[in-house]
Chains A and B, each alone.
Chain A
Amino acid sequence: MNFDMELFLQAMIHRSPGYIPEHLQLSLIPLFLAVSIALPAAVLVTRPGYRQYAAHVMAFFNAGQTIPPLAVIAVFFPFLGLGYGPALFALTIYALLPIARSSIAAISTVPEDVRDAALGMGMTPVDVLLRVELPLSLPTIMAGVKTAAVLTVSTAVLAALVGGKGMGAIIFAGINFFRPELVLAGTIYIGLLSIILERLLSVVEWFLTPPHMKAARSR
């Protein structure tokens, strides 16, 4: 198969960029939804009295990860149909696990003596969560969010298969018409999007990291 440079450049410059906003939507909306589900769930299962459920919740999120996004769409197809909505749904399920896992790990590794002292000083449980547990957990939670972001950007390609559009459209067009130029162009944009998103989230993470951890990192 010979490589058509002109087609490749045309795909890079004219065809692919149009899919970027769509693809970002397909990645960021599930990411946002996944954070808003996984973080409260993680907070809930790390409360005293619910800790015994932590393993079950993790099992649920793990299951979410083992099912391929396409299979999720297939399972929910009778209820949700094809298209943008089911794609968002499947991607959200997919992004849940890394965020939930890192959040549960982060909150439950806040040292018990710190929690104990904070309560003993007269902080309310809400104070302890907002002013002690979450600030100390944020760097680890953000690590999970970054993983999920990269995962979602690349998995969102599959959305095109069920009519969810995005950068997948150009990649699958390339596969269907045996045009590696299109596949390559789409893949490069997916890679760039992943890297840029990851870097942006790293900047956010840096601002959320408590000062003592920054110092520990730069040492």
Chain B
Amino acid sequence: MIQLEHISKRFSGVARPAVDQLSLTVEKGKISVFVGPSGCGKTTILRMINRLVEPDEGTIFIDGKNILQMNPPLLRRTIGYVIQQVGLLPHRTIGQNISLVPELLGWPREKTARKVRELLEMTGLPPEEFESKYPYQLSGGQAQRVGVARALAADPPIMLMDEPFAAVDPIIRMHLQDEFLRVQQHIRKTICFVTHDISEAIKIGDHLVILNEGRLVQSGTPIEILTHPSNDFVSSLIGDDRGSKILDLIRCEGLMDPQAPLVDFPKDNGSRVQAVWPVKAALERMMKNNTDEVMVCREDQPAGILSWNGIKAHINRISGEKQ
């Protein structure tokens, strides 16, 4: 768990503080996303957690220990760090780049080599092909996979990620996000993730922290924030399409009608969706089949009917709350 208490930071030559009396808690094993417009202080906050930036005021605790009293390089070796521009060392091979922190920690060579191969495999880069390549030989997406692998090398309990997927094209970005979420299912790290992209925040985050001008505006789960934005700033950040953004987050079972008659419903797979799928997937099915209804199933068992009218009613209900 990471706790920031009354943190302030002012950069010389800038009138407004970058971070202003901010307190927040990042829960263990969760992905907390810091989101806000550029200049809101999100990157500064992230860099204070590994002391690349020192706060002017306030204290930061990791698992109850005050990190401002720790040796910065030693602290950083226990925190994974991924940045947008990746920052691989251009004169070292991919293998050497990944083994950077284990090397600093003095791991035995064999243990490091094993870990490098394991991480390359986990991030979908075959070790025999990539281990001895140099960073200039990689595409943007591959480089960022290596960046993530490097951050994970010494198995740090905490990961700081500063817009890690912002520099790659949208298709690769989606791919990297999905992969990242899949990996996080296994590794369960405490992750602080910075982004300016609210859609990414909603997709990735277990917990969102919305920031503006160095202050915390609202924090909560994506659903809480989408359904109850606390002020106009949050609403405008989420955008007018928050109704449809929610469809990505709620499961089909949440909007289906379990009492609907299931008889004479076509038996083919095309009009069935799984209860745990997001509603958006059901919408895609409807459009593809040109129907207004799909059958929601738990494994093979029919559980209810999800209809276009049901979805529409839900969107109206959410959007209507604001008026």
Contacts and interface: CB of A to CB of B under 8 A. Distances in A.
Interface of A: 111, 113-124, 127, 132, 135-136, 210-213, 215-216
Given A212-B134, A216-B136, A121 B83 contact: no
Nearest to A216: B136
B190 interface: no
B86 A117 contact: yes
Interface in B94-114: 100-101, 104
A111 B135 CA distance: 14
A121 B77 contact: yes
Contact of B101 (A115, A116, A121): A121
A122 B87 contact: no
A136 B90 contact: yes
Interface of B: 50, 52, 73-78, 81, 83-91, 100-101, 104, 134-136, 147, 150, 160
Given A120-B52, A121-B100, A121-B150, A114 B77 contact: no
A161 to B, nearest CB: 45
B222 to A, nearest CB: 28
A132 B88 CA distance: 11
Contacts of A120: 50, 52, 76, 81, 83, 87, 160
B212 to A, nearest CB: 25
B133 to A, nearest CB: 10
7 contacts: A117-B147, A118-B87, A120-B83, A121-B76, A121-B150, A122-B101, A132-B89
Given A114-B89, A117-B89, A136-B91, 14 more contacts: A111-B87, A114-B88, A116-B83, A117-B88, A118-B100, A120-B160, A121-B77, A121-B104, A121-B150, A122-B75, A123-B73, A124-B73, A212-B90, A215-B134
Nearest to A120: B81
A122 B83 CA distance: 14
Given A212-B135, A215-B134, A122 B77 contact: yes
B49 to A, nearest CB: 11
A114 B87 contact: yes
B84 to A, nearest CB: 8
Contact of B91 (A113, A116, A213): A213
A124 B135 CA distance: 22
B87 to A, nearest CB: 3
B78 to A, nearest CB: 8
Contacts of B100: 118, 121, 123
B81 A212 contact: no
Given A119-B52, A121-B77, A216-B136, A210 B86 contact: no
A124 B100 CA distance: 12
A111 B81 CA distance: 17
B81 A121 contact: yes
A120 to B, nearest CB: 4
Nearest to A209: B91
Nearest to A119: B52
A49 to B, nearest CB: 12
A211 B160 CA distance: 30
A123 B81 CA distance: 12
A41 B40 CA distance: 38
Given A120-B52, A122-B101, A113 B86 contact: yes
Nearest to B87: A117
Given A120-B76, A122-B76, A113 B85 contact: yes
B313 to A, nearest CB: 48
A168 B223 CA distance: 84
Nearest to A117: B87
Contacts of B50: 120
B235 to A, nearest CB: 34
A215 B100 CA distance: 23
Most B CB atoms within 10 A — which of A114, A117, A127, A210? A117
A23 to B, nearest CB: 37
A178 B87 CA distance: 63
Given A121-B81, A121-B104, A116 B87 contact: yes
A103 B73 CA distance: 26
A210 B91 contact: yes
A124 B75 CA distance: 11
A210 B135 CA distance: 12
Contacts of B101: 121-122
A120 B78 CA distance: 10
Contacts of B77: 121-122
Contact of A210 (B83, B84, B90): B90
Contacts of A111: 85, 87, 90
A132 to B, nearest CB: 6
Contacts of B136: 212, 215-216
Given A111-B87, A123-B104, A211-B91, A117 B81 contact: yes
A122 B91 contact: no
B140 to A, nearest CB: 13
B250 to A, nearest CB: 37
